[in-house]
Structure 1
Amino acid sequence: MSSSSSTPPWDVRRPPRADGRVFLVTGGNAGIGYFIAEQLCASGATVVLGSRDPAKAEAAMVCLRSQVPGARVRAVRLDLADLSSLGTTAESLAVPRLDAVVHNAGVALDDPPRRETRDGHELMFGTHHLGHFALTGHLMPLLSAAPAARVVTVGSFAAKSERLDLDDLQSLRDYRPKRTYGRSKLAQMYFGLELDRRLRSVHSPVTSVVVHPGGALDSLTPSRPPVHVRTAGERLRAAPAALLVQGKHAGAWPAVRAVLDPAVSGGQLWGPQLFGLRGVPRQEAVWSQLADTSVAARVWEAGRDLTGVDLDTTVPGHR
């Protein structure tokens, strides 16, 4: 039976309870990450926001508590562009186990010039793929301590039309912001699927799921001041776009389902129902390029070599 037909039917506005569980959302202080955190808070779980900016994290927590009375939420400092800091981030969680991590944080696509991380990696590839790769390695002992933890990687619909240049993963020869963004998210999605294959090979209780939010616009997103404020004018101007895309609150739905729905399985891809752009979350066929396991293995090797984190050795039972 397909996992997309879970029983009872999935209700995006009434997720199942998750009391006693702990979830980390990277980039949980803004955008889609904020709404993932809000919806997970509503399940009764403890939600930890991973954020570079303590002031923005504090504002997000105030907003979350106003939207979800009694919300269990706190924050840790997280900078995916600084690989040496990620071990400290994992330690600062100060929990005996972690039931899920949502790899959501990313670099905004605003046509930036090519920039590099503190470690000298192209910023989008370094943040989306390398940062989350290394963070997963540091978190694996906590994830493995949970009975059935999930790693949920938030990709992008923009990646669907891209193919990786394995000889130029860091866009040294060919930097075009939109292409580099799409390719960096594609690398991240390859990682999420390859991670699940490797976890299965060692019979780990941890599973890995890949999701994407479809088309998610600020102008279709409900206000959450001060995290996000939408004016009446913006709402009216965006109304025609709602036929094809959606707000960031709805863009959060596939990730939330991937965390909470017991019918979701590792190695799956989830996105919005209508043309992959809007609507309730459903399981999709894995995109053709993502099914290439030889490319996935190369992306994994790049993550290991460039971060210095051998994720395989962090998986219990690996030999």
Structure 2
Amino acid sequence: MSSVSKSRAWDVRRPPSDEGKVVLVTGGNAGIGYFVAEQLAATGVVVVLGSRSAAKADAAMAAIRSRVAGARLRHLPLDLADLSSLKAAVDGSGLDRLDAVVHNAGVALDDPPRQETPDGHELMFGTNHLGHFALTRWLAPLLSAAPAGRVVTVGSFAARSERLDLDDPQSTRDYRPKRSYGRSKLAQMCFGFELDRRLRAVGSSVLSVVAHPGGALDGLTPSRPPVHVTKPGARLRAWPAGLLVQGKEAGAWPVVRAVLDPDVRGGELWGPRVFGLRGIPRREPVPSHMADRSVATRLWTVSCELTGTDSRLGFPSRQAL
């Protein structure tokens, strides 16, 4: 079946039921992550919200429950900027399997100065990429315990115009916030594609898929108090942009499809249909700079060194990854 025909059959507002599956959404308390969590909860999925803040997670869960009767939700305290805390967080999760993880949480800075994580990594690269890279290592046994686990990495349209500088991955020499953000998302996406190649090479049942929300604006996002409230003035100002971009509820659609659609394959990229910026989800060609294996291999090595992680990431294998 072609991706076009699959897209027509897929109803973004009524995804198929997936009763009982367990999905972790990092940063599920706000933004795209909140709407991913809400939409997954509506299908019967047990949604685990990974969030540093218990108060924000509680607010998000209350908002979801007000819209999804019987929603099954949990909070997992999770700080992706603190690599040393991740193993303990996963060990304390109480989970015996994980059907999918959505690597969504992220930091976006608009202005200098350059900031660092507690581990001394540039904040955006350290949180957005290194945090998820290291988290995957500790989630590997849980994902492998599921019949068909998935790692869904949420990228960004901003990554299309960036290129990685692996001689200076942490922007120590020339820090520009927007560029560093785009590169951190590009690193995430390259990781997602490389992870799937390595999982396929060892015959793993786990798939790695990359998705992005396109252009997703707060002003076009429906209100979900107290998590998000769109004021009439903000909606009016954002209305002309709606010809090209969309709100965060729609931005979650490609991610939800990447998690739930049984026809999605590992190594695929999913995004909005219209210029990659808005509309229902479709499978997209992977840009050449994201599919460059030499760059991905070097990024993998750098990421292992910076996180102190074994190159196999803990997935069962017949050979070294």
Task: Report the TM-score, using the length of structure 1 for normalisation.
Answer: 0.98
Amino acid at match of 1:237: R
Which residue does 1:271 correspond to in 2? Answer: 271
1:297 aligns with 2:289: no
Which residue does 1:146 correspond to in 2? Answer: 146
Which residue does 1:37 correspond to in 2? Answer: 37
User: What secondary structure sits across from 2:80 in the alignment?
Assistant: coil
For 2:259 and 2:229, how far apart are their aligned partners in 1? 27
Amino acid at match of 1:301: T
Residue 5 of structure 1: CA displacement?
Answer: 3.0
Identity %: 71
For 2:145 and 2:262, how far apart are their aligned partners in 1? 18
User: What secondary structure sits across from 2:9 in the alignment?
Assistant: coil
For 1:231 and 1:261, how far apart are their aligned partners in 2? 34
Residue 311 of structure 1: CA displacement?
Answer: 4.5
Q: Deviations 1:247-286 (Å, cap 9, x if unpaired)? A: 0001101100000000100000111000010000100000
User: What secondary structure sits across from 2:290 in the alignment?
Assistant: helix
For 1:98 and 1:313, how far apart are their aligned partners in 2? 16
Kindly indicate whether the alpha-carbon contact (under 8 Å) linking 2:140 and 2:313 is maintained by their aligned counterparts in 1: no
Question: What residue ranges of structure 2 are gaps of 5+ in the alignment?
Answer: none
For 1:116 and 1:108, how far apart are their aligned partners in 2? 13
User: What secondary structure sits across from 2:276 in the alignment?
Assistant: coil
Kindly indicate whether the alpha-carbon contact (under 8 Å) linking 1:24 and 1:49 is maintained by their aligned counterparts in 2: yes
Residue 234 of structure 1: CA displacement?
Answer: 1.2
* Aligned pairs for 1:15-164 within 5 A: 15-164=15-164
For 2:274 and 2:3, how far apart are their aligned partners in 1? 18
Residue 2 of structure 1: CA displacement?
Answer: 3.2
Residue 244 of structure 1: CA displacement?
Answer: 0.6
Task: Report the TM-score, using the length of structure 2 for normalisation.
Answer: 0.97
Amino acid at match of 1:174: D
For 1:91 and 1:302, how far apart are their aligned partners in 2? 26
1:186 aligns with 2:183: no
- Between the two proteins, the alignment pairs up a number of residues equal to 319
Residue 109 of structure 1: CA displacement?
Answer: 3.5
Which residue does 1:317 correspond to in 2? Answer: 317
Residue 313 of structure 1: CA displacement?
Answer: 5.2
For 2:229 and 2:61, how far apart are their aligned partners in 1? 16
For 2:45 and 2:184, how far apart are their aligned partners in 1? 30
Amino acid at match of 2:290: L
**Closer, same or farther: CA 7–155 of 1 in aligned 2, 3 Å:** closer
**Closer, same or farther: CA 203–262 of 1 in aligned 2, 3 Å:** same
Kindly indicate whether the alpha-carbon contact (under 8 Å) linking 2:35 and 2:249 is maintained by their aligned counterparts in 1: yes
Question: What residue ranges of structure 1 are gaps of 5+ in the alignment?
Answer: none
User: What secondary structure sits across from 1:59 in the alignment?
Assistant: helix
Which residue does 1:234 correspond to in 2? Answer: 234
Residue 204 of structure 1: CA displacement?
Answer: 0.3
1:10 aligns with 2:14: no
**Closer, same or farther: CA 164–185 of 1 in aligned 2, 3 Å:** same
For 1:271 and 1:92, how far apart are their aligned partners in 2? 33
Kindly indicate whether the alpha-carbon contact (under 8 Å) linking 1:28 and 1:105 is maintained by their aligned counterparts in 2: yes
Residue 117 of structure 1: CA displacement?
Answer: 0.4
Kindly indicate whether the alpha-carbon contact (under 8 Å) linking 1:209 and 1:265 is maintained by their aligned counterparts in 2: yes
Residue 201 of structure 1: CA displacement?
Answer: 0.5
Residue 4 of structure 1: CA displacement?
Answer: 5.0
Which residue does 1:249 correspond to in 2? Answer: 249
